[in-house]
Amino acid sequence: MTKVEKELHVPVMLKEILEIASPVLLDPENESPRYFDGTLGRGGHLSEIMKLDSRIKGVAFDRDPEALEYVSNLRSDWIQDGRLLLKHSNYVDFSPSTEGLFDFMLLDLGVSSPQLDEGRRGFSFYHEGPLDMRMDNTKGDTAADLIANYDEEDLTTLFQKYGEISRPYRVIRAILHDRKDKPFETTRQLAGLIERVDGWHRKGHHPATNYFMALRLKVNEELDSTERSLRPLIHGLKPGGRLAVLTFHSLEDRIVKNLFKDEEELGSPLFKKVIKPTWEESQKNSRARSAKLRVFERGNHRVDTAQGLGST
């Protein structure tokens, strides 16, 4: 993979998201359309949304300093013009009293392709690197810390709950045995153990996939962040504003679905059913395959051009 390919992140369900964002951001009566992106990544969604109209102003958070550095170079013109403000923040810390209210908000959850593909970030079971997995690599416990310190019960809960692995026992026993001699420090060391113990059952599905996903979700407290952030984000919508959330994990989607239902006093889900990527997109971009999109609209309905989307 070349350096440029490593840095690429293809924005998932971009067409659908632009259709949902357009009516609220392009309303001719809205003199100052505002967009909040809680998961900037490589700025793929952000760039296309901000290009819809030069009047749109954006605020974007990412907890990964590398993502912010990349987009601050890519979009330095917007930053200098005061159109775009980037912050090294967790979206859990979003507060409408600090950031103001927005017409359109987006969370594109999970990790970006460059985070996954760069061995040194420690997310990849194919590429050697430190067993890290922190999106914000300036603080917090790494995956290596969890593997070193969790007892049998903690590891069982972790892999069953977050990885949805029904019988992780043999892998856990092997971890507990091997770590007595040598701590787990690298991605390939752990992936190699899982390959050895569990073996390959499904073609194209690495046996470490769900173990690594469980560790990543825990290291970054991803489910907890989603749960804690949605209410403040909904409070950050202008009347008629929309919050779109893209998830890649069934537990995460369930959290979004339930919290959107709980906020009936402020608004409602824009579509009854979850929106999934088209077959064509899933074929072109494997990351899109598990994507699910839900949208919450704050009360005070607008004319909508995205009505066809809810039927998938």
Q: How far apart are CA 106 and CA 110, in angstroms?
A: 13
Q: Does 298 help bind ligand SAM (rule: CB under 6 A)?
A: no
Instruction: Give, as one character, the DSSP assignment of residue 131.
Output: S
Q: Judged by CB under 6 A, which of 20, 25, 33, 63 binds ligand SAM?
A: 63
Q: In DSSP terms, which residues pair with 295 in a beta bridge?
A: 244
Q: How far apart are CA 152 and CA 101, in angstroms?
A: 46
Residue nearest to ligand SAM according to CB distances in the complex: 41
Which residues 209-238 are close enough to bind ligand SAM by CB under 6 A? 225
Q: Does 90 help bind ligand SAM (rule: CB under 6 A)?
A: yes
Q: Does 42 help bind ligand SAM (rule: CB under 6 A)?
A: yes
Give the residue from 221, 222, 265, 268 showing the smallest Cα distance to 243.
268
Strand pairing class (34-37; 102-108):
parallel
Axis crossing angle, helix 152-161 with helix 209-219, rounded to the nearest 10: 100
Supply the minimum distance, in Å, between the C-beta of residue 168 and ligand SAM. Answer: 25
Give the residue from 90, 132, 126, 123 showing the smallest Cα distance to 107.
90
Q: Does 67 help bind ligand SAM (rule: CB under 6 A)?
A: yes
Nearer CB in complex with ligand SAM: 47/160: 47
Supply the minimum distance, in Å, between the C-beta of residue 292 and ligand SAM. Answer: 13
Nearer CB in complex with ligand SAM: 92/174: 92
Which range of residues in 104-112, 123-131, 141-149, 300-308 is near ligand SAM by CB under 6 A? 104-112
Which range of residues in 38-46, 185-193, 198-206, 270-278 is near ligand SAM by CB under 6 A? 38-46
Q: How far apart are CA 30 and CA 262, in angstroms?
A: 28
Q: Judged by CB under 6 A, which of 9, 249, 292, 298 binds ligand SAM?
A: 9
Contact (Cβ atoms closer than 8 angstroms) between residue 143 and residue 131: yes
Chain residues binding ligand SAM by CB under 6 A are 9, 11, 38-39, 41-45, 61-64, 67, 90-92, 108, 110-112, 135, 225
